[in-house]
Amino acid sequence: MSARDSGTKKPLAGKRVMVTRSPDQASAFASQLGEAGAIPVSIPAIIVGPPADWRPLDEAIGRLQRYDWVIFTSSNGVDYFFKRLAYAKKDAAALSRSKVATVGRATANTLRGYGREPEFVPSKHTSEVLVQELGEERLKGKRVLTPRSDIAPDTMVREMARLGATVDDVPAYHTSMPEESRRRAVQALTSREVDVVTFTSSSTVMSLIALLGNDARELISRVTIACIGPVTARTAHEQGLRVDVMANENTTSGLVAALEEWAEKKGR
């Protein structure tokens, strides 16, 4: 029986956890942290909005029947893609000639909300594993559409191209950095108002570092650093950060579970 079920003190009780997700995604994660006893502190490192130019996505939607695969790497990608699909007076039926893959369970569930079941979800929720498990057999000679953030890393695209796919990587949404978060993050980290900083994507890592400027690594390293999965952790390492906690399952639930385990070990 877990601490949560038994009525004993929860492992994360009183821990102040900084949530760097965009405001539209932060509330669900904050609720999970609150249920685990933590005190969520929402300081978004990114804000998600429309891309600077809809034309690349609109043109891709206009030739959807040509794609063998459409791959979604985030719920935001799904939402903005279907928003633009509706603008073109189309719905999920427009994807009937394509197979659809999603990086993880949360993205797959968002897709199902629009009436489309994914043909492929990898065993682990990372873009690297998705490409590995799709493999050359499914990708060679195929045309692939990836509606993603305008600042998403190009590793996945390059690997699919190496396996013989022709990839149209189009911006489906824009990720920007909220200036107000700079002041709040500096205050929280300088005054030790948070115990943990969580990163739920490579974008949150890069954006928080950019927001904090030259003092970023020193400020962030004052607290525990928790990452949602290996891709995000690698980005943190590449940016000179240590990673104290990493989720086994690349979901916010997995990250909360990893933080609970970390807190239990620390409390022994």
Q: What is the pLDDT of residues 113-133, one digit of tens each?
A: 999 999 999 998 788 899 999
Alpha-helix residue ranges (DSSP H) falling in the chain: 3-6, 23-35, 55-62, 75-87, 105-112, 127-139, 155-162, 179-190, 202-212, 216-220, 230-238, 252-267
What is the pLDDT, as a whole number, of residue 118?
97
What does the block give as tokens for 11? Answer: 């492992």
Architecture of domain 49-175: 3-Layer(aba) Sandwich (3.40)
What is the pLDDT, as a whole number, of residue 7?
56
The sheet with strand 16-19 has its strands ordered as 39-42, 16-19, 196-199, 224-227, 245-246
What is the pLDDT, as a whole number, of residue 81?
98
Q: Establish whether domains 3-46+177-267 and 49-175 are of one fold.
A: yes
* Ranges of the chain with pLDDT below 70: 1-7, 268
Q: How far apart are CA 50 and CA 174, in angstroms?
A: 5
pTM of the shown model: 0.73
Nearest C-alpha neighbor of 98 from the set 135, 60, 124:
60
Domain ranges across the chain: 3-46+177-267, 49-175
What is the pLDDT, as a whole number, of residue 201?
87
Name the class of domain 3-46+177-267.
alpha beta
